[in-house]
């Protein structure tokens, strides 16, 4: 059996099984896929694939279904990721472009991804420690009170009220303060920004030092709030109803996992930069109880660095080419939105 024909037969089995959830026989493959060989030849090819562990026969006289090893070969040999249709791209763009803030971006991304893939979508909130400071705004609310606004590359905005320590505010002092904090923190990673800001009080006149110290403390506190680093948004759990026959092996464990954000974050894995889409099939994942589950994920974020992960989780019987395309497309749109924010 030639390598090309083996892959063609395996690809046909995977596509038919994903579409029908029925074991696939040799006659059906010949009729549906135009393999150019007889059913007897296809049966021989299927027997060889079974011997190599790529497919198996669930019961006597049945057709064949892919194994995790078969799905793995199928995914690894995809020459291209299935392109999104113009209508799908337009729908993603239209829906995500209407987002008003980071929470809205994340929630819209989850809904879009779950609708496109008909799977459970998971989007991690951008990790604070990987973000950079885009801008710091300082606004006088009263003669002795400031509002300090921290804007990060993730689109996240933090606000803190600061007492001026009795120092009267004027436009010149505000402008100088704004210039100093942006000069120190602007464009810096969170850790580096905190270090640079900590040096500011020693660079100003003694009468201004309490005010600068209070502003720096507020900014550092805002940068140290890691509550969002473990946050994820989940959507599309109702899509699991499509997998009724695999409830015990795949759906119920996955439903239980959806309650644990730490589990979901580990399933998504580390955010990958460069647009790479990772696919973990069955037992390749980190949890044995989710061995009937596959995860398709990628990183997203403004600029070249990934700030967080997004993807889908579902039973191993899924449309891998279409799912990979949807995950990559949504990640690219979200990254663009954050970059333009």
3-state helix, strand, coil in the chain (%, to 5): 55, 20, 30
pTM for the structure as a whole = 0.79
As a whole number of angstroms, the distance between CA 125 and CA 309 comes to 8
Mean pLDDT for the stretch of residues 196-218: 91
Q: Identify the bridge partners of residue 136 per DSSP, sorted by sequence position.
A: 150
In the chain, list all ranges with CATH 1.10.10.10: 3-76
pLDDT class of 111 with cuts at 50, 70, 90 = very high
> pLDDT of 293-320, one tens digit each?
999 999 988 666 677 899 999 889 999 9
Tokens standing for 257? 């996992």
Residue 226 has pLDDT above 60, yes or no: no
Q: What is the pLDDT of residue 80?
A: 67
In the chain, list all ranges with CATH 3.30.390.10: 130-227
As a whole number of angstroms, the distance between CA 6 and CA 191 comes to 52
> Is domain 3-76 annotated with CATH 1.10.10.10?
yes
Q: Tokens 């459970």 appear where?
A: 120
As a whole number of angstroms, the distance between CA 296 and CA 323 comes to 7
Q: What are phi and psi for residue 275, nearest 5 degrees?
A: 75, 10
Which one has a higher pLDDT value, 27 or 17? 17
DSSP 161: E
As a whole number of angstroms, the distance between CA 245 and CA 36 comes to 33
As a whole number of angstroms, the distance between CA 181 and CA 183 comes to 5
DSSP letter for each residue of 134-151? EEEEEEEEETTEEEEEEE
As a whole number of angstroms, the distance between CA 307 and CA 240 comes to 28
Q: What are phi and psi for residue 167, nearest 5 degrees?
A: -85, 125
Strands (E) across the chain are located at 55-56, 65-66, 120-124, 133-142, 145-152, 157-163, 232-235, 277-281, 293-300, 308-315
As a whole number of angstroms, the distance between CA 125 and CA 141 comes to 31
Q: What are phi and psi for residue 124, nearest 5 degrees?
A: -80, 135
Distance of CA 74 to the CA centre of its chain: 23
- The residue count of the chain comes to 341
> pLDDT of 18-61, one tens digit each?
988 889 988 888 888 878 888 888 888 999 999 999 999 888 77
Q: CB atoms < 10 A from the CB of 212, how many? A: 22
Of 121, 90, 89, 125, the closest CA to residue 104 belongs to 125
Q: What is the pLDDT of residue 233?
A: 92
Mean pLDDT for the stretch of residues 119-142: 87
Q: Identify the bridge partners of residue 162 per DSSP, sorted by sequence position.
A: 146
Residue 227 has pLDDT above 60, yes or no: no
Q: Identify the bridge partners of residue 55 per DSSP, sorted by sequence position.
A: 66
Which CATH number fits the domain 130-227, given the four candidates 3.40.50.720, 3.30.390.10, 3.90.1150.10, 3.40.1390.10?
3.30.390.10
Q: What is the pLDDT of residue 109?
A: 93
| CATH architecture, range 86-125+231-340 | 2-Layer Sandwich (3.30)
């Amino acid at each position: 059996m030639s390598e090309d024909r083996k892959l063609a037969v395996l690809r046909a089995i995977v596509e038919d099984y994903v579409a029908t959830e029925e074991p696939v026989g040799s006659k059906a493959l010949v009729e549906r896929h135009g393999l150019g060989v007889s059913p007897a030849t296809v049966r021989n090819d299927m027997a060889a694939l079974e011997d190599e562990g790529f497919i198996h026969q669930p019961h006597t006289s049945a057709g064949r279904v892919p194994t995790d090893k078969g799905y793995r070969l199928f995914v690894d040999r995809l020459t291209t990721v299935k392109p999104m249709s113009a209508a799908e791209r337009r729908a993603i763009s239209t829906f995500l472009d209407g987002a008003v803030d980071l929470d809205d971006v994340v929630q819209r991304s989850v809904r879009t991804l779950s609708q496109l893939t008909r799977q459970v979508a998971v989007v991690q909130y951008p990790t604070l420690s990987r973000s950079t400071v885009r801008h710091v705004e300082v606004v006088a609310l009263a003669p002795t009170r400031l509002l300090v606004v921290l804007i990060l590359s993730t689109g996240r905005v933090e606000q803190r009220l600061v007492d001026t320590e009795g120092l009267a505010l004027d436009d010149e002092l505000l402008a100088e303060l704004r210039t100093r904090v942006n000069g120190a923190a602007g464009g810096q990673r969170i850790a580096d920004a905190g270090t640079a800001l900590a040096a500011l009080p020693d660079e100003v006149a003694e009468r201004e030092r309490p005010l600068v110290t209070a502003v720096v403390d507020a900014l550092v506190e805002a940068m140290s709030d890691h509550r969002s680093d473990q946050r994820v948004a989940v959507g599309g759990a109702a899509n699991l109803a499509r997998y009724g026959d695999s409830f015990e092996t795949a759906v119920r464990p996955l439903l239980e996992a959806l309650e644990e954000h730490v589990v979901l974050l580990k399933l998504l894995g580390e955010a990958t930069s460069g647009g790479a889409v990772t696919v973990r099939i069955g037992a390749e994942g980190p949890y044995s109880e989710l061995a009937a589950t596959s995860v398709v994920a990628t990183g997203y974020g403004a600029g070249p660095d990934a700030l967080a992960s997004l993807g889908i989780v579902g039973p191993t019987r899924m449309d891998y080419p279409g799912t990979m395309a949807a995950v990559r497309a949504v990640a690219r749109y979200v990254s663009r939105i954050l970059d333009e924010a």
